[in-house]
Structure 1
């Protein structure tokens, strides 16, 4: 049976809410497009003695570099009524609220970290100070407050 959403408390964000490193995305997405464009122009501008497969290989190389940049722009965390979905560079993990014990973002950490009920941790790359310290701290606090609110609602039952 799905867990009931706690009543909205003062200061809690309205669900669903998504956090991502927006500055990082704002740089990486246009650079990826520009990279593909540059490789396409280079493929077209090469001397006539270049074969078609050489030109195609150049364009494919640009697309691969762009795909790498898009993968770096992928991380995010989405909190909904059922739990949190953490999307990192390659993996996506769905967590119920009960699985999250604590949200940490210490000075010098590259991103927020979730302490999980099974004793493991999970990086939340979508909340990273490198993309804006104030934004990352606010996001980590909001996620921590949501985790606490759901824990409190669970204990009241």
Structure 2
């Protein structure tokens, strides 16, 4: 990679996020519209349908949450139900192998952290480019000479 991305940079599966959010909105709107058109339903039944649509929308929003944010001091990995802040020195390797559902970060404590913010699902080429950019940033920042690599 010839030039590193400017920091801060956010990696997220934009197409997947767009599909999840628009699907959630569509489900909520359709359920609410249908329930209001069905005259035989009482207020309690209508409310339960609308709340079900809102719950589905909420779950889809949670699935759209993952991202990886890289800045001068490290990386924040936001997954579906958790978030973790890492210093650059903690990241030993950034992996996205063929068949992997998302990027895995090999860490200095011997563990591996999934980074769902970079996933090849709908946009495989974009995920590969993002993984390469994060890998290049991690390699540049872990050497202790980040000023040499700023573009």
Establish whether TM, by shorter chain, passes 0.5.
yes
1:1-157 paired onto structure 2 within 5 Å: 10-48=2-40, 50-153=41-144
Do 1:104 and 1:113's aligned partners in 2 also have CA atoms closer than 8 Å? yes
Do 1:75 and 1:87's aligned partners in 2 also have CA atoms closer than 8 Å? yes
Number of aligned residue pairs: give it: 145
Do 1:22 and 1:131's aligned partners in 2 also have CA atoms closer than 8 Å? no
TM-score (norm 2): 0.91
TM-score (norm 1): 0.88
Q: Report the secondary structure of 1:143's partner residue.
A: helix
d(CA) in 2 for partners of 1:72, 1:124: 13
Matched residue, 1:3 = none
Name segments (4+ residues, structure 1) moved above 6 Å: none
Report the alpha carbon displacement of residue 131 of structure 1 after superposing the two structures with TM.
2.6
> What is the Cα-based RMSD across aligned positions, in Å?
1.4
Structure possessing the higher relative contact order (Cα contacts under 8 Å, 6 or more residues apart): 2
d(CA) in 2 for partners of 1:45, 1:103: 52
Do 1:15 and 1:79's aligned partners in 2 also have CA atoms closer than 8 Å? yes
